[in-house]
């Protein structure tokens, strides 16, 4: 069992720059990276830079504390630690970290807000329907 846990935690980089961890694809943005436009992705995204547009992923979205996001976000679990302006849909859970600043409407199944986070927008909680595209 210990061998399986080590294997599951091992990450490797494919030729296209994607990181796979435990069979899941992950797209990582560094602090100097900028994404403008629409990203539809079968995996998870970690944003530590600037994002403008739309992120629709099958996996999770993590926004780091130094990130600046002006985008529609849609993912399974969304974890915000930075500044986000735009609508957020979390098919399972949205977590606002203590320094998160979210300005936008949210649709979530579960919501966790840490002390110090700010949220300005409308909240709708309950079962979130997956769009027809599967994202």
- Tens digits of residue pLDDT in 84-96: 999 999 999 999 9
5-37 burial code (b ≥16 CB/10 A, e <16): eeeeeeeeeeeeeebeeeeebbbebeeeeebee
Predicted pLDDT at 5:
31
Cβ neighbours for 47, distance < 8 A, ≥ 6 positions apart: 29, 35, 55, 61, 62, 63, 64, 67, 69, 82
Q: How far apart are CA 76 and CA 50, in angstroms?
A: 21
According to DSSP, the β-strands at 19-21 and 11-13 are antiparallel
Query: Coil, helix or strand for 38?
Result: strand
pLDDT in tens, 6-59: 233 334 455 545 555 556 799 999 999 999 999 999 999 999 999 999 999 999
pTM of the model as a whole: 0.79
Q: Which residues share a beta bridge with 119?
A: 102
Q: How far apart are CA 89 and CA 4, in angstroms?
A: 33
């Amino acid at each position: 069992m210990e061998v399986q846990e080590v294997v599951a935690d091992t990450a490797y980089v494919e030729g296209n720059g994607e990181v796979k961890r435990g069979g899941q694809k992950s797209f990582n943005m560094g602090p100097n990276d900028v994404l403008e436009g629409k990203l539809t992705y079968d995996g998870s995204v970690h944003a530590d830079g600037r994002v403008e547009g739309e992120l629709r992923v099958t996996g999770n979205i993590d926004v780091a504390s130094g990130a600046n996001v002006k985008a529609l976000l849609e993912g399974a679990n969304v974890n915000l630690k930075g500044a986000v302006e735009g609508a957020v849909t979390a098919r399972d859970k949205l977590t606002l970290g203590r320094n998160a600043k979210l300005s936008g409407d949210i649709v979530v199944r579960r919501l966790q807000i840490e002390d110090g986070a700010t949220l300005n927008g409308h909240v709708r909680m309950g079962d979130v329907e997956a769009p027809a595209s599967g994202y």
